[in-house]
Structure 1
Amino acid sequence: MHHAPAEAKFSPSSQEQGSMSSPVRKSVSAAAAGPPEVRGIGEAETFELVRRSAAPILAVGAERQSSACFCEGDRALLFRSVGDLMDPSVYRAFRAQIDAAARSASFSPAVIAHDLHPLYLSTHYARQAGLPLIAVQHHHAHIASVMAERRHPGPVLGICCDGIGFGDDGAAWGCEIMYCTASEYLRTGHLEYFPLLGGDAAAIDTWRSAFALVQQAVGRCEDLAPFERVPADQMDVMRRLSRTEINAPPTSSLGRVFDGVSFLLGLCDHNDRPAQAAMALERIALAEPVSPYPYQTTVGRDGVLMSLAPMIRAIVRDVTRAEDPRVISARFHETVARMLAAAAQISAERNAISTVVLSGGCFANRLLRDQTRALLERRRFAVLLPERSPVGDAGIALGQAVVATARLEGGR
């Protein structure tokens, strides 16, 4: 079981601790207005928790979608996301949101929970606060947020699929199966790693992930028509990155697989907004039963290794044959859902778990969500999904707060 321990040095808060007094839909929108494109300071959703917190906790979320949560006693307030913290105006709005909400709710944190990623701006914010810190692994927090909302004490089996989250091994995780309690987790399965070519740039340029996936599964990309849309100099860069492994960290990101397949089908070359390629892929999927592509699940000492390389080879073949993209998309979704359900069943049986939690931004995709849930329920699992909190990073602070609460009390 893994958890990131509280950082060793405990500094006293300079503020007196108060009690959180916000009602269920406490508006704190009057604090600071960003530019028109920045979402408002927003409202807080209240959650009644299974555990009581031993100290007031501020959780500060991840980065691409801001997330902030106050936790005190048996209540948590999850605030509306104000956007991407990489935008300086959003980061200012995020700080203002926390300050205004703390004043409005008479809240003084004693501990800050943050993402495990050392370079996130939310992590930087946490470190500057001068309070004790608890680092929480990204995907564990996603699963814990659903456990909190659905008032499940754990353990559960979590299936978490998204863009990326910093993993214990330094890789960019993004398709994970985890045995989770509130305080700890054990990674019991994941998607086979492929290189994240160009690092963060792969979240924008969908052809980067397509290149990595095809190169790994097929061996060469040069003869494939979709890559004719990529400038020759960029193709040269991709070849060098794939050979040298510089600026190409390993990833298990399902979100980047969606990007790559969307590119291969000619749907989206660049994500100009979050999940643009994935939404385009979902949108065209044929609404009829289809057969899945092949995939692999291999059981080893460390758990279940999932591979979509057989699927990528089949999709390359179908693209070359000019098969209907609507059918390819539908078969892609069916394949991923079946792979996740099969791997989850193996992990659940090995760990004697009957409840499965689905979380992470990929499950904003209705088709993937509904297919995966149906397959799991057919296997007689109880399946939990968020109902009031966002399934993506905008809801992750709730999970961070819950994990921090459990660790402070030494609970499971």
Structure 2
Amino acid sequence: MGLGGEPRALWAVDPATSRGRLVAESPSPTRTPFQRDRDRIVHSTAFRRLAHKTQVFLHTEGDHFRSRLTHTLEVAQIARALARAFRLDEDLAEALALGHDLGHTPFGHAGERAMGRAMAEFGGFDHNAQTLRIVTRLERRYAAFDGLNLAWETLEGLVKHNGPLTDATGRPLPPAHGDGPPDGLLPYAIRDYAARQDLWLWSWPSLEAQCAAIADDIAYDAHDIDDGLRAGLLDLESLEAVPLVGGLILEVRRLHPGLDRSRLIQETIRRLITRMIEDVVAESFARLETSLPESADEVRYVGHALIVFSPEIAAADREIKRHLFRHVYRCDGVMTQMRAAERVVEALFAAYMETPSDLPEEWRRDLDVADRPRLARRVCDYIAGMTDRFALIEHRRRFDDTPELV
């Protein structure tokens, strides 16, 4: 049911007709398949670790900056609000938002860059693919299977929430955000799982997955502006020249003259999130009324995204990201810390490859150290699962030059 008891829309995913799980399980008497998936994600070890993984700013820079976990919770809130507006399955949208960043390394994108270089000759590294690996192999909580044994629709949404990964012939498409293995192949974890279950990598994902993807964009824009202002890397005056944000700052100043800086920032961020959500709802309903998909599968066949910004807000979104890239993500202070973090990840990878016996016993089990690709993937899985803090503890145990990052 939708908001206020409204029936689920025809274009929504129906949990009653889920394609099921790789390992068959008895249905829950109290939860839909997607409520069950959401709960499994929340109770996973990988989800708990997000509390101590970098979003943009490291923990030493302040207690109030977003971690990967708080970012994830904010994305889930926005995704659920969008799903409610479109009368979708809110639980599936929430599960996808809660699980979308499970595969991130310690130190955010810096760790991912370092891991990508370390794994270049062994199939590469991609955090989205690593999420799939976590929920299908690495989580070991259940007696009957490895991973979380999530429903088909949840796995599909986690793998391709940014769009199709292959064309209709199975040929890999360029990555949506420019990352991925350098050889043009699908990321290793996705190739590996595709041999076990067909996730329709050629199609667009459900509307629930599209809600999670655009919620990620909205959260990034709004909350990285907030954190950038808190860190002193952004100022309100320069933001007045940024499309959409600048207009909202002026709007708040006009409606609340003399408002203190802290409240001015929070009111602007609140309005930015609201404005972007309202834009997505209006633009997407227009697209849905044109396409009129009568099932979740028809959404997959449409051939393009349906949950989108209007052209005006999409252009503003690009300008916001450019501003954040120049003044936050690539500023000298952040880059100095990120380069140091990359060195930590690279050094740990080299150390475990040289001395696999230093891996914990459960990570050495059934491992043929002479099989270098398999060893590299095991080392990669181990390091990618580390929190920032644990990565530094492990580095300090082996080296004398550990940077003071957290």
Note whether the superposition's TM-score is higher than 0.5: no
TM-score, structure 1 normalization:
0.22
TM-score, structure 2 normalization:
0.22
Higher strand share: 1
